[in-house]
Chain A
Amino acid sequence: MPHPSARPEREPAEPVTPPAPPDSPAPGGPGDGPGGLLAAIFRYQSVVVILVALLGAMAIGAALIRYQGVNPWYAYETIFKQALFTSDGLTRTLAKTTPLILTGLAVVLPLRVGLFNIGGQGQFLLGAIAAAWAAYQTSALGVLAIVVGVVVGILFGAMVGSIAAILKTWRGVHEVITTIMLNNIAAGIVWWLVTGPFQAPNAGGIPQTHEIGEAARIPTVAGIPLGFGVAVVLALVCAWMLKRTTLGFRFDTVGKNRHAAGYAGIPINRVILLAMVFAGGLAGLAGALEVHGVMHHFEPAIAGTLGFDGITIALLARSNPLWTIPAGFLVGILRTGAAGLQFATGIAPEIVDLLLAITLLLVSIPVLGRWIFRSRAHKVSAASTSWGS
């Protein structure tokens, strides 16, 4: 199977041109000719757009770093060296990538149904704190506490996700507003819990929960955190689900044309609910894995900007589950390397927020694609959502 890049999104935009089979020359413009390289570029145009966007973001980032008085080459070199080539750098990067893939998937799945899940942050937080609490309470179970924590984390994340879905289907409230509100509510609840009922008394007043038991910690095997394996497998499962199952077909049909889906007898509300429950569950799982695999307790800073990085990853991946793995890995590298960057050059680690924001901007602006591939100027946007209905 060649690159499974954003095929599913491209097809409906071009009802006239059938999707080119991998071997036939790609439909280029009249003056393009059947050049080998050019044809390949056209076939994978969305990948090219993303690579150009990444390079552009790196270039703008380099200018910004230069402006801070640091050699940009040195800065980027430091980031990648710290994240990949130090003794435990790769392990830390993979550990960082784990929740990123999952929060990325938590945006991808609803996007396929036409929903924009901004609530990864809140789903992650409540999943994480529920997992930390459940695992601590059941630490007598030993290794089984991992199962308890993970299941409880998934359930809580899914619960938060389902609130947005229910408000959407039952009252027609837009999910972007509800999920943002739920993020803020989750942040408040979590702060209250870690400074009150769940606060560990031996933490010296630091707002965090009890450490979970030794047995309940997910280990790292041969430098690869087991959670990373879970995340990769789930990305594959999501890709399989969307491509090969009835449910995946329903997801895409609802996302592409809700009215047609209704006429075809697809239970739209149930599909929306399922998508948000899956998304919440994935984000909650990310929280649980972070607790079990990395932090071993809960503190509010655990979430960082994971929920919002998930949006960047989903759009970088063009809402394809498989591509969340490299996209998540890239963001993981930047996030891991940024800490070393501050140590080496004094540049604040928030440079990564800025870099990712610029990347997101360049990836999502349809004009970049149009500018590179003038022949397909009618193409609008890879992902689309719906306001109102």
Chain B
Amino acid sequence: MGAWVARNKWSVTLAAIVLVAAYIFYALSSGTALSMYKYAWSYAVPLVLCALVGVVGERSGVVNIGIEGQLLVSAFAGFFGAAYSGSLLVGMLSGIGCGLILGGFLAWTTVKWQMDQIIAGVVLNIVATGITSFYYKPGQVLPALMPHVSIPGLSSIPLIGEVFFKGTGVIALVAIVAVVVIHIGLFRTRWGLRTRAIGEYPSAADTAGINVIRMRLVNVTLAGVLAGLAGVYLSMDSTSSFERGMSAGRGFLALAIMIFGAWRPLRAAAAALFFGFVTATASQLQTEQIINVAPQLVGTLPYVMTLVVLAVAAGKVRAPGAVGQPFVKGDKS
């Protein structure tokens, strides 16, 4: 623990400062602070999940531009699956299943067939838009609201417990667990070491006896589960409706967050929370009429912020070495 703190002293210091500031704000006006933090977290949940999809993909050497499409189709499948079957569970499972299938599609085309990864992702997005806008039927409703739970014990912590563990949706809890599990997995397990190896230097990994192709296939496909969860969260938890194009660029925001988070799950989650908090602040200032900017312009804030963040962060972080390049066994590169 001590060594870990010493290695990450800047991150830990920053986190501590943010935490103290958050508690001071909470002490000053608990109502406003709490609603803002809850808003920020609900905005951040799909971003966290999608950023994890990106992290797992790129750490294994596959760029996933198609997260947006996975998100959209999963939101669609989740909502209409639940609406037609009358069961939330069926909806959730079909959403997750769609995320998985599209992840598998992306993995197969880029890893097995060595299709250009960017083009494969963009094609996936366009196909997702086509399917969801053609089969969209207005006027459907969910059979019930998604269940919200409170974790006993944890939920009584002031602020943190209230935001993350009190009356929160299951998917938001899964997101927290997923961040921790994938972070530990990437940096502390054999799977993580191998994943990072095939993303940095696949031919070396291949020489060491790792099945690069199979590992990339499995990683990118299984990451689709997280994208599916994010989609289900969008259409069934944070709202209870599906709209055409409702993912609204979140898949790309998540990629920016992944870069901002230097391809590390914990930092990416922090970056997502930062995005959520800035958005919450803007909407709070808007409702209290402190700033008077047209809502259409406030709506572009996440996108502007993405550009700024990328312009600042891009030169400072390093992508996995082999990201974007298909691996051909025996091909020296």
Q: Name the B residues within 8 Å of A364 (CB-CB).
A: 115, 119-120, 123
Chain A 350-389 interface residues, beta-carbon cutoff 8 Å to B: 350-351, 353-358, 360-361, 364-367, 380-381, 383-388
Q: Name the B residues within 8 Å of A353 (CB-CB).
A: 129-130, 133-134
The CA-CA distance from A177 to B133 in the complex, in Å, is 23
A215: min CB distance to chain B, Å: 32
Q: Name the B residues within 8 Å of A172 (CB-CB).
A: 314-315
Q: Name the A residues within 8 Å of B126 (CB-CB).
A: 308, 311-312, 356-357, 360
* Contact residue among A167, A361, A380 (Cβ-Cβ distance under 8 Å from B127): A361
Q: Which residue of A lies closest to B304 (CB)?
A: A185
The CA-CA distance from A177 to B252 in the complex, in Å, is 6
- Interface presence of B215 (CB below 8 A): no
Secondary structure of the A contact surface, majority rule: helix
The CA-CA distance from A237 to B117 in the complex, in Å, is 30
A177 touches B310 (CB 8 A): yes
A195 touches B296 (CB 8 A): yes
B119 touches A385 (CB 8 A): yes
Q: Name the A residues within 8 Å of B319 (CB-CB).
A: 387-388
A114: min CB distance to chain B, Å: 10
Q: Which residue of B lies closest to A305 (CB)?
A: B129
Q: Name the A residues within 8 Å of B255 (CB-CB).
A: 177
B252 touches A181 (CB 8 A): yes
- Interface presence of A147 (CB below 8 A): no
How many residues of chain B are within 8 Å of chain A by beta carbon? Answer: 44
0 or 1 for each of B271-307: is its CB under 8 Å from A? (1 = yes)? 0000000000000000000000010110110011011
A381 touches B133 (CB 8 A): no
- Interface presence of B109 (CB below 8 A): yes
B130 touches A357 (CB 8 A): yes
* Contact residue among B122, B136, B324 (Cβ-Cβ distance under 8 Å from A387): B324
Q: Which residue of B lies closest to A187 (CB)?
A: B300
B314 touches A173 (CB 8 A): yes
B252 touches A381 (CB 8 A): no
Q: A181-B249, A181-B303 are in contact. Are A383 and B119 (CB under 8 A)?
A: yes
A352: min CB distance to chain B, Å: 9
- Interface presence of B144 (CB below 8 A): no
B71: min CB distance to chain A, Å: 13
Q: Which residue of A lies closest to B120 (CB)?
A: A364
Chain B 119-177 interface residues, beta-carbon cutoff 8 Å to A: 119-123, 126-127, 129-131, 133-134, 136
B113: min CB distance to chain A, Å: 5
Q: Which residue of A lies closest to B114 (CB)?
A: A380
Q: Name the B residues within 8 Å of A52 (CB-CB).
A: none
Which residue among B126, B255, B310 has the maximum number of chain A CB atoms within 10 Å of its CB? B126
Q: Name the A residues within 8 Å of B248 (CB-CB).
A: 184
- Interface presence of B111 (CB below 8 A): no
- Interface presence of A29 (CB below 8 A): no
B115 touches A356 (CB 8 A): no
Q: Which residue of A lies closest to B68 (CB)?
A: A180
Q: Name the B residues within 8 Å of A177 (CB-CB).
A: 252, 255-256, 306, 310
- Interface presence of A330 (CB below 8 A): no
The CA-CA distance from A325 to B134 in the complex, in Å, is 27
Q: A185-B304, A361-B123, A365-B115 are in contact. Are A171 and B130 (CB under 8 A)?
A: no
B118 touches A185 (CB 8 A): no
Q: Name the A residues within 8 Å of B131 (CB-CB).
A: 354, 357
Q: Name the B residues within 8 Å of A387 (CB-CB).
A: 63, 117-118, 319, 323-324
List 6 extra interface pairs beyond A176-B121, A188-B299, CB under 8 A.
A181-B256, A182-B307, A350-B133, A364-B120, A387-B319, A387-B323
7 A-B interface contacts by CB (under 8 A): A116-B119, A170-B311, A196-B294, A308-B129, A353-B134, A366-B115, A388-B323
| Chain A interface residues (CB < 8 Å from chain B) | 116, 118, 163, 167, 170-173, 176-178, 180-185, 187-189, 191-192, 195-196, 305, 308, 311-312, 315, 348, 350-351, 353-358, 360-361, 364-367, 380-381, 383-388
